[in-house]
Structure 1
């Protein structure tokens, strides 16, 4: 108690939840909290549901009605008020405390570990907890995490999706989603009658909203044990880690519920502190939330490029199927004598390649203009070429003086015949760069440009976004925080990957994230940067790659060869893995007569080396 006999703010919060009579003191405090939150309204956008890419308009978040009068939370106010923090040593700061709650079988707490209530063992208690907490959004709707199967069972949310022996993983996922939808929809009646509205299809994520007057509060209730049912999760579960790759097992939450709640609280606080947002239910959604927060700040200040529209691929004649700028998948046969002095296989990769490219590139936005013939060629000759797509004719590679121990400069290029195809401005830059720098050494005349779609409005739309994620990645790396490093990677990789798919961004408030030309440019930039590095390595060491997959390169080298970069900057080459190169592997490589055999031998060498 304070010297005047008033409860401390933290104790007062707990007493307010357990003793819900409308006292003047409680009402005054709630009004103050409402005023504070009304001064800091933040627009948020609902993410997809478990079974569909649901959409929801951004809303202004305020505190929901906190004047509930039911008193059915059976906890001892005195004991709760004087109880120590849930965690022996609080896992992080309090950055997420006003935005999320963690509920386990033993009770609820803030992400920092400060306790709130005892067991939340009914939907009515859950509704009361949410209404009382007055959580604010932070780049995403406020969140209540239900951790552990016991906590789900207390709320009546138990399902039996079946056995892996009797059904495929996809069948199990589908059955689980169907059961969750029915179970949750029928159990939420106490909340719905109290003014809450269920948005989208409920599953592992339950998206709720409640309107009081002109204000709307939104909250996501997330069932951690059922995150595996997410329709597009693959093996990654966002902030919860990765569940199937043995090398990433340490990114999952601990198996014990109390430890899992503690670690989840730490991760929530980390995300708010270092990314400035609550985690979305996937890395891609978190990446989008980071960019939207920057976008809102630009709208507020009027500074920086503001992207308001989607950037779909323009209607293209002669459109090729698949990606505009596909990743490279290439393997070659070693030349006689090339492996005689080699002792190890080394795979090098660009450090956070896509993130590096995203921060460097200029992107177009808004309306594009279709130009032809001389106008297209004139634009291609500009010192600072506009962002866009160009219809070029790639000469037959055999007619050019290109390195024979590298893949062709563009994935659409053919050795024996010219090819007409659309390329991004990034590839146009690469094709016209000198061969020694990884380019094709072509002039604009050599490409016979006949059409282009170009954008007048352009800028480094992802520069601040990339800087935020780069800093977060560096913090996770420096502190050896593997789960958060992998989560940060999932944010930028997932977001850049999802730029291609309009179905991920169906809400009118999310459509500006559909940017397939941005993604194509990032892919192309990473590819050209890799070629430039490969040419440098060849000059310095005489070594050439045997294989490349996207932006990684496999080399056979001697112990004296240094092919990775000393710099820790993004985009620089780092050793991904290496293994001794035995005499038998060398013999097998020389005996191979096609690329697929070389690929299999390299894979086997790494497997046997471990």
Structure 2
């Protein structure tokens, strides 16, 4: 079906489709009805056994039961659903890789009608095998949208009402357990037909089917029950945050309430993800980020060009007690001096644009088996022209012994003002300490840091450069088209993936263990922290203004009119104006009467209605 530029793809009929009588359909005009095909006529799609998300070719999409003269979604929903003129209709990039199932019928992500309703698990089995879907960075996907579609399949749970529980986590846990039980019982026909469950079924049902040396994989994602899955990517903590590609109810980016508009928007997002990331979305944003990494790894392995890391990089055994993050994000506040507020008229918060993504693309990361160096060997390695990637055991001098500005935090969260500290730092922080004070460092010589040990890696390079480039370009598309849902999703992808590098439990499968890279994450955090401090020093030189607060990569300043502390560049990592508010008499009073930094924090959070979204 050819589309004119700007025309919305016809997605579905709103009413029950009128099936074309069999006697009027010819083999040339349309394929047989899916649910009229007998088992031995269904082509069995198989692919070589491989890690989840192997590379495949595009596949065609069958036409199934299509009603004659069916109206387009535009015609049915015109005037009922607000349109987003800036957002293009769904493309065909996800067709052949995913199918959307609603109570009204089944559809390709681009909107082609495939079949009528799927009202039994047996029909779902036929749909999957008939569709011959192929993976795209992740296993092929069947998306079940709307509770009515779930009811047709017998997938109904009743965990209770949120008003009856004090903690949503109680309700979520109860619902997840009930859903697993219901699915285990309901999926029996598919298991009898040769499918196997990979893990316990939940909001995602992972299925595989092996024939000889070939294995087919498909994930069934049950949209009404995604909320039953707890994961930090989904923002649980007394609220429902981003639910991956589906969006966020609290941010207003979740799918529409009605099933057909929801399916239409989901199809658009699936196609967008396939087109701009080259993969289907994973069950969480972190898994989507990992799928992009794996796609690049496979391409580099085949071509023999570029860095393809295949092993995990756990934290080496460190001498001495180590607690918490190797490189913590900064969190600091100070009480302003009265004269700093005399001419200030507004309070602004600046934030590094996609800070973690920017650093991930810039840095060289280590890989391979690290070498343990002691004493002179460790110091010699640090004196190399290019500092090797690794960890260094150093003594950080007491902050009060250095000529550092007192209106900025100390250069490293492990530092103390009144005494030296022995600790481990990454190569990024080692370079930062050696930088001049004006550039965010302390101007240290290596002897000042008393290096006693190091773990250094034999290989290093920009392992995430192409990954960052793909996400950066996709983010630009989302920004340029005012596609808030996909911009937020991309942010969750790179922040989720980098955040989960530290947790081996996220990557227990053999083919996923190379994603466990806690030192990479530590280096990224250190780089963002150093870059922010360098900017703060530049702002102080140019304007004489100092921040009151910094959290991760954002900085809060009281400013007079005419002073702009944000960067003009729209490049990633540059400072952008995040929030601003008038510096009212009440706010000035709150600052001047504050007895400690806690009260300053409360005042800033109140005026900015801090939602902790961040832009790292």
* Same fold at TM > 0.5: yes
1:54 equivalent in structure 2: none
1:20 equivalent in structure 2: 37
- Distance verdict in 2 for CA 1:63–1:185, change over 3 Å: farther
Q: Aligned ranges for residues 113-262 of structure 1 at < 5 Å?
A: 113-167=111-165, 168-232=167-231, 233=234, 234=236, 235-244=241-250, 248-249=251-252, 251-262=253-264
1:109 equivalent in structure 2: 107
2:331 equivalent in structure 1: 329
2:290 equivalent in structure 1: 288
2:410 equivalent in structure 1: 408
Tell me by how many angstroms 1:257 deviates: 0.6
2:54, 2:137 within 8 Å by CA — same for their partners in 1?
no
Q: Which moved more, 1:157-166 or 1:479-488?
A: 157-166
Q: Kindly tell me the number of residue pairs found equivalent between the two proteins.
A: 565
SS at match of 1:567: coil
**Aligned mates of 1:61, 1:155 — CA distance in 2:** 30
Tell me by how many angstroms 1:178 deviates: 1.1
**Equivalent of 1:492 in 489, 494, 504:** 494
- Distance verdict in 2 for CA 1:583–1:399, change over 3 Å: same
1:383 equivalent in structure 2: 385
2:49, 2:213 within 8 Å by CA — same for their partners in 1?
no
1:72 equivalent in structure 2: none
Q: Aligned ranges for residues 252-331 of structure 1 at < 5 Å?
A: 252-331=254-333
**Aligned mates of 1:414, 1:536 — CA distance in 2:** 24
Q: Extract unaligned runs of 5+ from structure 2.
A: 1-24, 78-87, 611-616
**CA offsets per residue over residues 564-588 of structure 1, 9 Å max, x none?**
0010000000011000001231122
**Aligned mates of 2:584, 2:49 — CA distance in 1:** 60
**Aligned mates of 1:85, 1:522 — CA distance in 2:** 48
**Equivalent of 1:353 in 338, 352, 355:** 355
1:96, 1:111 within 8 Å by CA — same for their partners in 2?
yes
SS at match of 1:509: helix
SS at match of 2:425: strand
**CA offsets per residue over residues 52-95 of structure 1, 9 Å max, x none?**
xxxxxx7798999x9xxxxxxxxx97754764666669931111
**Aligned mates of 2:519, 2:215 — CA distance in 1:** 36
**CA offsets per residue over residues 315-371 of structure 1, 9 Å max, x none?**
111232100000111000112311100000000000000000000000001100000
**Equivalent of 1:605 in 604, 607, 615:** 607
- Distance verdict in 2 for CA 1:105–1:87, change over 3 Å: farther
2:581 equivalent in structure 1: 579
1:340 equivalent in structure 2: 342
**Aligned mates of 2:281, 2:532 — CA distance in 1:** 32
**Aligned mates of 1:22, 1:602 — CA distance in 2:** 65
1:310, 1:515 within 8 Å by CA — same for their partners in 2?
yes
1:466 equivalent in structure 2: 468
Tell me by how many angstroms 1:214 deviates: 1.8
- Distance verdict in 2 for CA 1:63–1:268, change over 3 Å: closer
Tell me by how many angstroms 1:508 deviates: 0.4
**Aligned mates of 1:586, 1:22 — CA distance in 2:** 75
**Aligned mates of 1:528, 1:44 — CA distance in 2:** 38
SS at match of 1:313: coil
SS at match of 1:338: helix
Tell me by how many angstroms 1:216 deviates: 0.9
2:34, 2:65 within 8 Å by CA — same for their partners in 1?
no
CA RMSD of aligned residues (A): 2.4
SS at match of 2:391: strand
1:253, 1:264 within 8 Å by CA — same for their partners in 2?
yes
Q: Aligned ranges for residues 34-73 of structure 1 at < 5 Å?
A: 43-45=50-52
**CA offsets per residue over residues 132-180 of structure 1, 9 Å max, x none?**
0000000001000000011101111110111223222111111111111
- Distance verdict in 2 for CA 1:510–1:607, change over 3 Å: closer
**Aligned mates of 2:222, 2:313 — CA distance in 1:** 34
- Distance verdict in 2 for CA 1:198–1:607, change over 3 Å: closer
Tell me by how many angstroms 1:192 deviates: 1.1
1:80, 1:116 within 8 Å by CA — same for their partners in 2?
no
**Aligned mates of 1:116, 1:537 — CA distance in 2:** 59
- Distance verdict in 2 for CA 1:180–1:61, change over 3 Å: farther
Tell me by how many angstroms 1:300 deviates: 0.4
Q: Extract unaligned runs of 5+ from structure 1.
A: 46-57, 67-75
**Aligned mates of 1:506, 1:295 — CA distance in 2:** 18
2:66, 2:114 within 8 Å by CA — same for their partners in 1?
no
SS at match of 1:138: coil
**Aligned mates of 1:172, 1:437 — CA distance in 2:** 51
2:562 equivalent in structure 1: 560
Tell me by how many angstroms 1:20 deviates: 2.1
